[in-house]
Amino acid sequence: MLQPRYVLLDRDGVINEDSDAFIKSPEEWLPIPGSIEAIALLNSHGYKVVVVTNQSGIARGFFDENTLVSIHTKMNELIKQQGAEITAVYFCPHGPDDQCDCRKPKAGLLLQFAQDFNVDLTTTSVIGDSLRDLQAGELVGAEPILVKTGKGHQTLINNPNLNALVFENLYDAAKSLIARHQT
Q: Which structural domain range is residue 68 located in?
A: 5-180
Domain count, the chain: 1
User: Residue length, the chain?
Assistant: 183
Look up the CATH number of the domain holding residue 137.
Answer: 3.40.50.1000
User: Which residues have CB under 8 Å from 57's CB, separation 6+?
Assistant: 22, 23, 24, 63
The residue from 10, 18, 129, 133 that is catalytic is 10
pLDDT above 90 covers a percentage of the chain that reads: 95
| Neighbour order of strands in the sheet with 5-9 | 88-92, 47-54, 5-9, 125-128, 143-147, 165-167
Exposed/middle/buried for residue 124 (C-beta within 10 Å: 0-12, 13-18, 19+)? buried
DSSP element (H, E) containing 57: none
| C-alpha torsion sign, points 107, 111, 114, 119 | positive
Q: What pLDDT digit, counting tens, does each position of 124-161 carry? A: 999 999 999 999 999 999 999 999 999 999 999 999 89
The residue from 12, 18, 129, 133 that is catalytic is 12
Mean pLDDT of the chain: 96
Question: Quick one: pLDDT at residue 72?
Answer: 98
Model confidence at 7: pLDDT above 80: yes
Please say if 64 is a catalytic residue: no
Dihedral (Cα; 142, 124, 120, 69), 10-degree rounding:
100
Region 53-66: mean pLDDT is: 97
Q: What pLDDT digit, counting tens, does each position of 90-127 carry? A: 999 999 999 999 999 999 999 999 999 999 999 999 99
Dihedral (Cα; 160, 181, 88, 147), 10-degree rounding:
20
Please say if 133 is a catalytic residue: no
Q: What is the pLDDT confidence band of residue 13, given thresholds at 50, 70 and 90?
A: very high
Strand partners, 52: 90
Q: What is the pLDDT confidence band of residue 183, given thresholds at 50, 70 and 90?
A: low
Q: What is the pTM of this model?
A: 0.96
